[in-house]
A = this chain, B = another copy of it.
Amino acid sequence: MTAEPTTTPSASAAPADPGGEASRQHTLRERNLRLVARAVYDAAAAAGTRPDTVPPSRADVAAATGLTRATVSTLVDRLVAARLVAELPPAPAQRAGRPAVPLVPASRTVVGLGLEVNVDYLGVRVLDLAGEVVAEHVERGAFHDADPARTLGRLGALAADAVADVEAAGMRVAGARLALPGLVDARTGELEVAPNLGWSSLDPVPLLGLRDLPVRVANEAKLAALAELAGDVPDSFLHVSGDVGIGAAIVVDRALFLAERGWNGEVGHVVVDPAGPRCTCGARGCLEQYAGKEAVLRAAGLPADAPLADLLARLDDEDGGGTARAAVERAARALGSALADFVNLTGVSTIVLGGVYTELLPWLAPDVHAGLTERVLAAPFAAPDVRAARGGKFAALTGGAREVLRDVVADPAPWG
């Protein structure tokens, strides 16, 4: 044999060294560059949730990384020259010496693209390193059973327009993530099946026709969850998005949990009652049949395709809203049971509710909390926390663009 030690992951050891360059100096310099970039970007992320903080100086970065002031200064200069980090006007010096220069993520220099095909829209969103949207285009449509080549071709054209615009403004495009509402293999990026689009066994990237842009594919619920990281969330949470189906993503230590092929978070098909109604998946009593959007609307006496506003209006109707409130309570009890299973199985105790659940949260909360309190074994020691999603509209576009930029910060050397 030839030993294959580095292909067998080991739990606590240092990460493998794929290039086999562990002992070479330039790798060490690149690693330090990554440490410095991360110090600036992590501080910016923390400042996003604590407005009283100020950006770090070179001295702060040296203290945080353990690198010497001279090394940090050289590496920061390199990141500034590469336009990945920007310098703000110096703050007044607190001690003798030169005033400290605050370091922040650069604006409108390197950008990432979020792309999405969903059942009723195509979307493109361009984010810069500072987290600002610098371009966006969302086109409404009906893409159930739409032709993949035509649909992805149209999205590719929208993306190419956006790229041309931002490049004309002097920005560099790092890459794109394509969000699809289906089973995407996290290892290969292939789409196995997207039932609501009627697509299956597809390699979607070539159909975009974006030859010069590196594009990777991911499940839309997974990318939508990452949009929450821009706000004040714990490092680990379950993001559940309620619609006709119920999508979810598990974030652990600020990264997507993607064991094996990343096919997880199927909260909608957790067993609520083995004697319950037949689900579209073929099994009985799945959560979707109680808490999916259509199931709730029907139980509330509304058409399955009624807008959410109609349901909200009925819930507010003190006299006539009894049926609607009963429907939402039934959904909430089922949701509490399924989410308790999730917390018991994974130990992740924060639940972020998105999609239609965000607006329904005031009505859902009491029964969801009751179910979690009754069923989560560790609840006396770590009470589960249920909160509304804050990722905003088309969150998968934001999450996708963030993923692209995260890779830039994680390995800034090629941008220098």
Query: B-contacting residues of A (Cβ < 8 Å)?
Result: 1-6, 8-15, 17, 19-23, 28, 31-32, 34-35, 38-43, 45-46, 50, 52-56, 60-61, 63-68, 71, 183, 192-193, 235-236, 250, 252-267, 269-275, 281-283, 337-338, 340-342, 344-349, 374-375, 377-378, 381-382, 406-407, 409-410
Are B345 and A67 within 8 A (Cβ)?
no
Chain B neighbourhood of A65, CB < 8 A: 5-6, 17, 20, 22
Closest Cβ neighbor of A406 among chain B residues = B12
Nearest 3 pairs between A and B by C-beta?
A: A20-B66, A11-B255, A3-B56
Are B11 and A254 within 8 A (Cβ)?
yes
Dominant secondary structure of chain A at its interface with chain B: loop
Query: How far, in Å, is A11 (CB) from chain B's closest CB?
Result: 3
Are A340 and B271 within 8 A (Cβ)?
yes
Closest Cβ neighbor of A377 among chain B residues = B266
Are A31 and B14 within 8 A (Cβ)?
yes
Contact with A63, one of B2, B55, B259 (Cβ below 8 angstroms): B2
Taking each of A68, A235, A270, which has the highest tally of chain B beta carbons within 10 Å of its own beta carbon? A270
Chain B neighbourhood of A193, CB < 8 A: 381
Closest Cβ neighbor of A342 among chain B residues = B345
Are A345 and B266 within 8 A (Cβ)?
yes
Contact with A12, one of B14, B39, B255, B273 (Cβ below 8 angstroms): B255
The answer for the CA separation of A22 and B17 in the assembled complex, in Å, is 16
Are B2 and A345 within 8 A (Cβ)?
no
Query: How far, in Å, is A165 (CB) from chain B's closest CB?
Result: 28
Chain B neighbourhood of A50, CB < 8 A: 1
Closest Cβ neighbor of A25 among chain B residues = B28
The answer for the CA separation of A74 and B374 in the assembled complex, in Å, is 59
Chain B neighbourhood of A68, CB < 8 A: 23
Chain B neighbourhood of A61, CB < 8 A: 3, 5
Are A13 and B409 within 8 A (Cβ)?
yes
